[in-house]
């Protein structure tokens, strides 16, 4: 292990020394006419270059893997055996120099992901003024955040106010006003103000920590193309070794056999698909789009049907009561309503509590949530018309007319009753900006069908759908109904993506080929979905789809480049061996040069995904990939 560490530490110096020795060799031959200096320098350069390559080959053999390093090592040793010192030295140098360039370009490919880890907070400031290591912060610790400082943990503000830039979480560089009671996230920046916060999540448990963890895991999650290439390489590389041996047995031409070893190296083929995925995933992460692996990229690029939840997805989920119809509700009943709704996390419940504002806490018993209908306690019912009818409470003509009128205007409705209908709330939920434009763009990008699924009433659902340009709607659905629709479309042969809030729609998100959560940093959204849109910017959905299509296209390009290079070199070797003309140019050294150049080419091609941008115009082009 010490040797491995040393070789890794001084790899650049060894490559430089190898280049210097090759330069000395050519100087000795052509300037000093010294065959000894020529031979000695080339042998020393070969040895210096071969040691790390052979070491990696041996390490791979311990795991029963026939690696590219093994092919090169055998070829170089055989070249030494037949006194092809020039080719052996050049091949080892090119292999090492190629590895150096690959490392540098791969670092650039991973730059988006690296930038995420670099902005992770490393220290925190106690109220006393003591600076402590981030790992020493505990839950419930009280911390001070000053202007220009990073927020070190996820927590709540208990004193102070300021403007926070949450671009590290959402990808949107916008200052958000925060005050007492508001949540703050680790890794975000306090642009102006001063905050006292109480830590609720620390370290890897913070939203930012989970984002970094998921992005790093996503790099290792392979697409179907990568898995196929891995299986192919597992048999291809040993096959090259066997074929070279057979060619030597039949032809007795050792130079031909070892040249085949070098030309057959599948480096670009192996590295091409994963480097595309790394670049694509990094690009998304930088913009607040978490894509959990290459397989998700592939699936989303092939999606032909998008199913949308309504509340919190097409709409903002920031509900408010706009119309109240009172049919004799007492103050006591209103207190009971507020108390019961405070037990629910439904957006409509929050709107009702905000409307009531002040209420007296009253005891309630027998609280029960009825899926798809509402909530009840003792004699109190809060929900839709079906809930009331199931308890033999019916609307009179005026109440029915009021209900229909509100629903036709696109309002969500909530009925409240004890022995009679007492209240009717009409609740609005603003549609997210750019929804209609984004849906139009998705169609331009190849999505064939857009369908809305909602638990809301038919009239409200149709009103929202008409505004955003969705023609097909399923209304009055329970969560299990949505999941069944997802399953039915999959059985019909559709490639289905479901977009929800990541909380109430987890069964549908799990069942879909691609589950997408519109999120504001909730744990459940990050954990259950395949793609998380960390910001409220709906346009990121079309960006994610555009990025997935570009990444898949880039991956296919890399595979074609790699296959073309291998076929070109092997064809050149075969033709050259028969004609004698091309053969003088296709040898170990040129083969290694082209091999390393092809690896750099696929990496550089993947790097085009790093600045990937979706251009918005009246024609809605997919992307400049």
Residue 515: count of CB within 10 angstroms of its CB: 27
E strand or H helix at 52, and its extent? helix 35-62
- 309 is annotated as an active-site residue: yes
Q: How far apart are CA 324 and CA 411, in angstroms?
A: 12
E strand or H helix at 326, and its extent? strand 315-326
E strand intervals along 395-493: 412-417, 421-431, 449-453, 472-474
Tokens of 282: 């990094």
Give 156's strand partners. 183, 198
Q: How far apart are CA 303 and CA 301, in angstroms?
A: 6
331-341 and 347-356 helices, crossing angle to 10°: 140
Distance set, CA 26 to CA 45, 84, 282, 586 (Å): 12, 15, 44, 21
* Residue labelled with tokens 């040249």: 259
Minimal CA–CA distance to 287: which of 617, 609, 563, 625?
609
* Residue labelled with tokens 């057959």: 264
Q: How far apart are CA 418 and CA 377, in angstroms?
A: 10
Q: Which of 309, 429, 513, 625 is catalytic?
A: 309
3-state secondary structure of 538: coil
- Taking phi over 0 as left and psi of -120 to 50 as alpha, with beta for the rest, 434 belongs to left
3-state secondary structure of 44: helix
| 190 Cβ neighbours under 8 A, 6+ residues apart | 145, 146, 147, 148, 149, 150, 151, 162, 163, 164, 165
435-444 and 540-579 helices, crossing angle to 10°: 20
Q: How far apart are CA 196 and CA 179, in angstroms?
A: 10
Q: Dihedral (C-alpha) 464, 470, 474, 476: value to the nearest 10 degrees? A: -10
Name the residues annotated as catalytic. 309
């Amino acid at each position: 292990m010490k040797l491995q560490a040393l070789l890794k530490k001084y790899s650049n110096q060894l490559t430089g020394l190898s280049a210097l020795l090759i330069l000395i060799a050519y100087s000795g031959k052509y300037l000093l006419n010294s065959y000894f200096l020529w031979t000695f320098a080339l042998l020393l350069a070969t040895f210096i270059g071969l040691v790390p390559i052979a070491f990696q080959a041996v390490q791979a053999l311990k795991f029963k893997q026939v690696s590219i390093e093994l092919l090169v090592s055998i070829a170089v040793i055989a070249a030494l055996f037949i006194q092809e010192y020039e080719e052996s030295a050049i091949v080892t140098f090119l292999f090492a120099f190629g590895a150096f360039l690959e490392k540098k370009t791969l670092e650039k490919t991973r730059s988006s992901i690296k930038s995420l880890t670099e902005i992770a907070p490393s220290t925190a400031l106690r109220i006393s003024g003591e600076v402590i290591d981030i790992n020493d912060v505990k839950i419930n610790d009280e911390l001070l955040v000053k202007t220009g400082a990073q927020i070190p943990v996820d927590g709540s503000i208990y004193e102070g106010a300021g403007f926070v830039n949450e671009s590290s979480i959402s990808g949107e560089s916008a200052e958000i006003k925060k005050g007492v009671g508001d949540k703050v996230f680790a890794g975000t920046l306090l642009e102006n103000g001063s905050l006292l916060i109480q830590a609720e999540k620390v370290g890897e448990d913070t939203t930012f920590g989970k984002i970094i963890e998921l992005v790093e895991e996503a790099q290792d999650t392979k697409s179907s193309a990568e898995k196929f290439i891995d299986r192919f390489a597992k048999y291809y590389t040993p096959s090259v070794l066997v074929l070279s041996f057979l060619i030597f047995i039949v032809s007795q031409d050792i130079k031909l056999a070892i040249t085949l070893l070098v030309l057959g190296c599948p480096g670009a083929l192996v590295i091409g698909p994963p480097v595309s995925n790394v670049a694509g995933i990094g690009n998304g992460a930088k913009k607040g789009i978490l894509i959990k692996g290459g397989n998700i990229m592939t699936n989303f690029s092939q999606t032909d049907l998008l199913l949308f939840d309504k509340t919190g997805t097409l709409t903002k989920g920031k509900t408010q009561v706009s119309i109240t119809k009172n049919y004799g509700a007492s103050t006591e009943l209103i207190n009971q309503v507020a108390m019961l709704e405070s037990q629910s996390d439904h957006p409509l419940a929050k709107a009702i509590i905000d409307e009531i504002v002040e209420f007296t806490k009253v005891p309630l018993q027998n609280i029960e949530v009825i899926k798809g209908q509402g909530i009840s306690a003792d004699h109190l019912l809060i929900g839709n018309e079906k809930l009331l009818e199931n308890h033999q409470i019916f609307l009179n003509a005026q109440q029915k007319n009021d209900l229909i009128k509100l629903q036709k205007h696109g309002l969500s409705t909530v009925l409240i009753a004890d022995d009679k209908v007492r209240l009717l709330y009409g609740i609005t939920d603003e549609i997210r900006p750019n929804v209609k434009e984004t849906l139009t763009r998705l169609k331009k990008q190849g999505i064939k069908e857009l369908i809305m699924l909602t638990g809301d009433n038919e009239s409200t659902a149709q009103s929202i759908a008409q505004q955003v340009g969705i023609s097909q709607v399923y209304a009055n659905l329970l969560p299990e109904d949505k999941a069944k629709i997802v399953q039915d479309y999959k059985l019909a042969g559709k490639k289905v993506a479901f977009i929800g809030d990541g909380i109430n729609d987890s069964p549908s998100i799990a069942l879909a080929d691609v589950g997408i959560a519109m999120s504001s940093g909730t744990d459940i959204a990050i954990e259950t979905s395949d793609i998380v849109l960390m910001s409220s910017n709906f346009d990121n959905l079309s960006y994610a789809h555009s990025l997935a299509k570009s990444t898949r296209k880039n991956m296919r390009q890399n595979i074609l480049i790699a296959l073309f290079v291998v076929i070109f070199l092997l064809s050149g070797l075969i033709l050259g061996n028969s004609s004698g003309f091309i053969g003088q140019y296709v040898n170990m050294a040129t083969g290694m040069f082209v091999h390393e150049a092809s690896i750099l080419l696929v990496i550089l091609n993947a790097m085009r995904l790093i600045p990937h941008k979706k251009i918005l115009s009246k024609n809605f082009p997919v992307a400049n990939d």
